[in-house]
Homo-oligomer: A and B are copies of this chain.
Amino acid sequence: MQYFSSEQINALDSGFRRNLINSLSGYKSLNLVGTKSESGITNLAPFSQIIHLGAYPAFVGILFRPHTVKRDTLENILETGFFTLNHVTPEFFKEAHWAAANWEQSEFEATGLTEEYKKDFFAPFVKGSPVQLGCKFVESQTLQVNQTVFLVGSIEHVFVHEKGLVEDGSLDLNEMETVTVSGLDDYHTGKRLARLAYPKPNKFPELI
């Protein structure tokens, strides 16, 4: 095993450190976050720091980098209250990555991804995404440790492609072809090992 102490980590070349530390948590969820400003300019950006906060009510949490520079996605959410989350597939993962570039115009225009409006929802969905969520801003706070912004949203609309919706409510992300990311730039699909039964003491988990 290669070892790094915290002192060694802080002394690393910044690019090496950024790649390393961003890889440590494992595979991460990948969602394109769609927003629109009050003036009607759409925005799209890939995020990998999104977590499930609860099922009832349904909440998600998103972590933003410090709001010390212009951050369109965050500002649009704070201004309008609405955003979408959209899974990425192999068909457009390169465009999804490209949306993170420093574009002057809407990333939809820039990358060729298509806006989709549904259920009178203010923010644009990504056409072709197999899982699309319409979310509403609930609250946000700045983490004092490093000025990142943790935002909470409620899930108001859920669209899931039928091909991946399992009878018990779970989603088969292999069927959906949902993409996952590791580190800053390494994209993968999933390859199922197994689904396991609810864990109980004294009974080794069975496949379900």
Interface residues of A (CB under 8 A from B): 1-6, 9-10, 12-31, 48-61, 63, 85, 87, 90, 93-94, 97-104, 110, 119, 131-133, 138-139, 143-146, 148, 150, 152, 154-162, 165-166, 168-174, 178-180, 182-201, 204-205, 208
B131 touches A26 (CB 8 A): yes
Q: How far is the CB of A77 from chain B (nearest CB, A)?
A: 16
Q: How far is the CB of A53 from chain B (nearest CB, A)?
A: 6
Q: Select one of B18, B51, B173 contacting A27, CB under 8 A.
A: B173
A190 touches B191 (CB 8 A): yes
Q: Select one of B51, B99, B146, B196 contacting A187, CB under 8 A.
A: B196
List B contacts of A56 (CB < 8 A).
Answer: 10, 14, 17-18, 21
B10 touches A97 (CB 8 A): no
CA distance A30 to B31 in the complex (A): 18
A199 touches B101 (CB 8 A): yes
B55 touches A21 (CB 8 A): yes
A150 touches B148 (CB 8 A): no
List B contacts of A90 (CB < 8 A).
Answer: 193
List B contacts of A100 (CB < 8 A).
Answer: 199
CA distance A155 to B25 in the complex (A): 11
Q: Select one of B5, B158, B165, B180 contacting A9, CB under 8 A.
A: B158
CA distance A162 to B1 in the complex (A): 6
Given known contacts A101-B200, A174-B188, A193-B179, A52 and B29 CB-to-CB distance under 8 angstroms: no
B6 touches A25 (CB 8 A): no
CA distance A183 to B159 in the complex (A): 16
CA distance A183 to B16 in the complex (A): 32
Given known contacts A25-B29, A29-B28, A97-B196, A10 and B57 CB-to-CB distance under 8 angstroms: yes
